[in-house]
Structures are given as structure tokens and as C-alpha cells.
Structure 1
Amino acid sequence: MDFSLTQQHNDQKSLLEIIFVVDGSGSIGKSNFSIVREWVVNRTVNIYEAFGDFAHVEVLQFSNKDNPWDGVSIEDSKKFVIPFVLGECVNNVSCFTPRIMNMPYLNSATYLYYALRRVMEVEFPKSPSFNISMKAVIVVTDGEANDGAFLRGWHDKYKDRVTSIAIGVGQYKKFLNQLQNIANGGTGNDRVFPLSGFTGMQRNSSDLINVLINLTDPIWSSWSSCSTSCSPGIQMRTITFRNATRTLNESVIVNQTKTCNEDLCALYYDNDLRCAGPGIIPTQCSMDAFRKFLLKNVNWEEIGQDEKIFDSPVKGLRMKLKQIKSPGMNIKFVNIERYDAVKP
């Protein structure tokens, strides 16, 4: 689907910025981390299907941390794997898919708070949309964080700036309190999504996308009629994001388009050949459409036992009908043939 902005805010950049914070600890394992990569790709695709170019996505894999005595700032830390940052690979599956799928597996500890610090202190602030965008963090982890004691404080500090979503995989009950601290400050299971195993990540995650959609408070119009009657065309609807920006008090209206009439044969209904005509009705549809139309509308009583020829609206196509009637028997013969329309 395609998107275009019709009512712009003052600095047209990103309406929604999302950072996946992906656990790369050793407890996950190489095979399961491959599932995680695929999951992140699929969810990124879902995000762009919902928001188009007006969402920006980043992926950050975490595991270990720098020691205080190393004298390395979190901005200069090399402990993270970031295949692309906010503003890169926007709505470009051929760009973000190989970068995610080729992301190396860190295979070490689980310093989640350290990663969340990096997200809020470095990654979001360096984005050109930092001052206006809504922000979301999606944490994916399979175990208790080594620095989990600081997660509640992280949430309380940034709860008015970012919406956090926590996904726990495997034995999540052992670290459910940490997931809750990330997502809602420990008040319950809001925005907490537990999965009993990594195979569960292969299922659809529509609830996760709904959280992001509701964050911007959208109003969806109905799809318009197809722009064409007898060939592939375009349908359009508008999405009004009423809570589109964090600092600007206004809505943003986005036009969303999709193709229609892609299945051309579906245009030729049993009793309607309005789309038929030379060069219009597809060859692969014409025979079946013509047959359905005639067999539904022909009066066999008028045909009797004589052969009857019907010409199609499609040049060079005709149908021959004949029936043989006798006591206890009524056989109908239907023959559709193509012919040289130039010759008599």
C-alpha cells in the first residue's frame, strides 16, 4: 500500500519512531535467535503496512555492558549491534530484511537496563524527528536481566516520553515482574505479551501492532470505489492520526491507497458482460464469462432441437447450442469456439 501526507505538520519527518530492543543473550541460542530475527522482520513489515513512510524503525541488539572502570560512555559503547538506525531503510523491505537477518548474535549476558539507557540517551535523541514524534520501545527478551533492579526507575523516568512494550519468551513467569516494570511500571499486564516458547513468535502479532496504532489515535475512512471498472485501478482512504505528534497540537491526515480489480476474471459476473469488448475482456476470462452469461439467460424452449449460434461481444468468439429431446431424455450440447471474424 502507498501513503501520502495531505495535511502536514510544521516539520514533516516521522509520526512514530519505534526501536526494537532485542535480547542477544546466550540463553536464547543460535537457532532460536534465527526465529527472533524473522520475527523482527515480520513485525517491521507489519508496522510499515500500518503507517507507511510515517513510521521509522530501528533495531538494537543488546547483551553485555561496559564496566565503569573502562571509562567508556554509553554513547561510545560498542556492546550493541544496530543494523540500521531511525531514518534508514524506511518502508524498504529489501533494505531492512538482509540487515536484520545478517545481524550477528552476541551470545553473552542480559544487561537490558543498559540497552534501554542507550535507546533513550542516544538513539532517540539523534533522530531528526526527536522533538515531534511519538516514540515506542519494543523489548524482546527470554530471561531475567542482570540489571533488572533499575528497570522500574527507567520506566518512571521516561513514561511520559515513550510507550514501552515488553515481550517475554519462554519461562516468562520467572521474570514477569521485570516485564511489567518495563511496560507499565509494575502495575499489571498492560502492554506485556508473554510467549511460552520461541515457536510462538511465528504466529501473527496483531495485538502488538494494535498498541502502536492506538498510540496515534487513528480514524479510518471507508475505501473509495475502484478508479476503474474493467481494468486494474486504485482505491483510496484517509487515516486521521489525531494524536500524531508529541509536541504539536494537531492531527495529521494520511492518504492510503491500494490496487483493485487485480483479479480481472472476477469482473465478469454471470449476468453482466458490461466489461466485455474487443481488447478489454482478458482471453483467459472470455470463454468462461461468455458461457456463464448465455447459459443463465438462454431460453432452451425457444431453441427446440435446432442448433442455435450466439455471437459474443468479444470479437471472434461464439457459442453453439443444441439439444436433443425425446421421451425420458433431454441432452444439451454446448460448444464454445473461436473463429475468424473477418470471414463470413
Structure 2
Amino acid sequence: MKWSAIHLLTFIGLTSCVTSELTGQGLDIAFLMDGSGSVGADNFIVMKTFVKNLTASLLEFNTSFAFVQYSSGTTIHVNFHQFQRTGWENQVDSISQIGSNTYTAGAIQTVVNDLFDSSAGARPNAHRILIVLTDGQSSDTSTYPSATALADRKNITRYAIGIGNVFDSQSATDELRSIASSPESDYVFKVDSFEALDKIISSLVKRITVIEATVMRRQIVRVELQVNLTFDLNNTVVQDEILNQIKLKLQEQGLPSNTKLSWIKQPDGQIFHKKYNEKSVKEQKKSKDEF
């Protein structure tokens, strides 16, 4: 005896639970600001304003921030633990320019080792982002390979922002590429002046929030899904075969292979019912099947 699709769909419900591994939780974002003498006092203030504007644009997300300055040495002014969600603007305003030379590679090493660490408030499951601002080429370029390799091992995404016409040269542009993550089209920015920094805020926010959206999609998700499927069944078809067909249909729709399926039982414990509540062909022997 064949069962029509309409009878099957009248009495069967399917619940799908989609679960994926929790691989990230929020964003830890560090700003590495060029405080060398070539920046100039006024431009340093403009750079801090850019840092504040970008921070303000990202506060609504699950973010934490740190503010670091480098020249000949590196100073962590505010680490992730010290960041204040209600007083962070004053924290940035209080940073005074150091002056001196530009040692960008060494600064990256310091940030990777000392800032992106639990002792500095870095969250173990957060996606790590480093934004490097510079107005010129570094005095320690030979250190870049080891510095960026160390950052890669810690899964730190790096944005490089070159400020000024010095980055019209190929060698300076190549240095930005060596700082940034790949591909360079996503992680290297060049602006003509410090005043032009605000023009790239929108692009940076979009790039960074794409990372946040990806992190959120990777978190555990529970979905209740009512699925309408059509089968041509007869009384020789067993429940396992039905589940196998359902699995194939779900996979065709793009659901991941770790989707969990379960039957919705009727009050009398039966799955299939003939019209007018006649007894089912098979009694339920499985309440859940996973794959």
C-alpha cells in the first residue's frame, strides 16, 4: 500500500540542529601608532583622532582595544585589560608623542609577544587584529620576516596604513606589504596625508566587521527547521531508509554534514499515521539519528 506525500507531511515533522565548533569570540584590536619625529606634533594629534573615530565605529561589536606607540622603542599605553569602555577617549588623548626614529618591525614583535597575551587582557578565543600606522620606512626592515612570522603563528590579522607620499616609491610600498596580511588588496592602505585618514574608516570598518560576522557564524548555532519533503513510500520502506533520504535532501540544500536529525513523535509514540488515525505501518524504534 502506498502512502501519499500529503499524508506523510501531515504527520511528520523534522527538527534540524546545526552545530559548528566555536572558533572565535569577538575581536581584540590593537593600534600601533607611529610616534617618530617625522610625524610632527600636529599630525600625531590627527592620527590619534583617526584612532578614536575608528574605535568609536567598532564599539558596538564585541570588541576590545589596545593603544601602542612606537619609534626607537615601543610603549604599550593601554593594553586590553586596561581598556575602559567609558573612558577610552581620554586614554587616547593622554598619549604623548615620543619622537626619535622608526623601528616598526621591532614594535610588531613587542606587540605580538607582550600585548596579544592573556596577561595583557587578550581573550583566548578572540580574533586578533593589529592596525599599523606609519609615515615612513623602518630602520629595522631586516627584522620583518621574523616579526610577521611570529604574528602569523599567533593568528594576528595585520592592516598596514602608509601615510604620505613616501609610499609612492616601490620600496616603501613593498614594506607595507611585508607588514600586512595577505592579500594586500584587503590589508594595505595608502593615504596622501594624515588628514586623509578618515577617508578610509568606512572601508576598514567593513573589512573588520566581515571578520566579526565570520566569527559569529562560527559560533554554536541552533536552528529549528520545518522541512517539506516528498517521498513515494510503501509498506516495505523502513525508517532508516527514510532518514537516509532526508539526509541526502538536506545535504543538497547545503546543510553541514554534522547536522542532527530527530523525529517529532506523535502523542501515541507512532511516527506514521494513516488517514483517520489508523495504526502506523512501523512503530518508532529510533527517536534520533545523527550523521
TM over 0.5: yes
Q: Which residue of 2 aligns with 1:64?
A: 72
Q: Which residue of 2 aligns with 1:167?
A: 161
**Residue 136 of structure 2 is aligned with which of 134, 143, 153?**
143
Larger radius of gyration: 1
Question: In 2, are the aligned partners of 1:135 and 1:162 still within 8 Å (CA)?
Answer: yes
**Residue 214 of structure 1 is aligned with which of 204, 210, 213?**
210
Change (3 A) 1:204 1:40: same
Equivalent residue pairs, number: 198
**Residue 194 of structure 1 is aligned with which of 190, 203, 214?**
190
> SS at the partner of 1:166?
strand
Question: In 2, are the aligned partners of 1:35 and 1:202 still within 8 Å (CA)?
Answer: no
| Pairs within 5 Å for 1:268-287 | none
**Residue 19 of structure 1 is aligned with which of 10, 24, 30?**
30
Matched, 1:242 2:182: no
Change (3 A) 1:30 1:184: same
Change (3 A) 1:64 1:252: farther
Q: 1: CA distance between counterparts of 2:216 and 2:175?
A: 32
Q: String of CA shifts for 1:175-195, please: whole Å, max 9, x gaps.
A: 11111111136x644310100
Question: In 2, are the aligned partners of 1:183 and 1:190 still within 8 Å (CA)?
Answer: no
Change (3 A) 1:152 1:207: farther
Change (3 A) 1:153 1:27: same
Cα distance, 1:61 vs structure 2 = 0.4
Q: Which residue of 2 aligns with 1:123?
A: 115
Change (3 A) 1:87 1:28: same
Change (3 A) 1:41 1:201: same
Question: In 1, are the aligned partners of 2:112 and 2:150 still within 8 Å (CA)?
Answer: no
Q: String of CA shifts for 1:186-225, please: whole Å, max 9, x gaps.
A: x64431010011110243511111221111335xxxxxxx
Change (3 A) 1:200 1:128: closer
Question: In 1, are the aligned partners of 2:186 and 2:207 still within 8 Å (CA)?
Answer: no
Letter in 2 for 1:55: T
The answer for unaligned runs of 5 or more in structure 2 is: 1-20, 223-291
Q: Which residue of 1 aligns with 2:98?
A: 106
4+ long deviations beyond 4 Å? none
Of Structure 1 and Structure 2, which has the larger fraction of its residues in helix?
2
Q: Which residue of 2 aligns with 1:154?
A: 147
> SS at the partner of 1:203?
helix
Q: Which residue of 1 aligns with 2:43?
A: 32
Letter in 2 for 1:205: I
> SS at the partner of 2:55?
helix
Question: In 2, are the aligned partners of 1:241 and 1:252 still within 8 Å (CA)?
Answer: no
Letter in 1 for 2:140: D
Change (3 A) 1:252 1:173: farther
Cα distance, 1:90 vs structure 2 = 4.2
Q: String of CA shifts for 1:16-59, please: whole Å, max 9, x gaps.
A: 1010000001111001111011111111111103x0xx210000
Letter in 2 for 1:173: D
The answer for unaligned runs of 5 or more in structure 1 is: 1-8, 66-78, 219-239, 244-249, 254-344
Letter in 2 for 1:135: R
**Residue 125 of structure 2 is aligned with which of 120, 132, 143?**
132
Question: In 2, are the aligned partners of 1:143 and 1:168 still within 8 Å (CA)?
Answer: yes
Cα distance, 1:127 vs structure 2 = 3.8
Of Structure 1 and Structure 2, which has the larger fraction of its residues in strand?
1
> SS at the partner of 1:87?
coil
Q: String of CA shifts for 1:252-290, please: whole Å, max 9, x gaps.
A: 89xxxxxxxxxxxxxxxxxxxxxxxxxxxxxxxxxxxxx
Q: String of CA shifts for 1:152-184, please: whole Å, max 9, x gaps.
A: 332233225110000000022331111111113
| Pairs within 5 Å for 1:291-330 | none
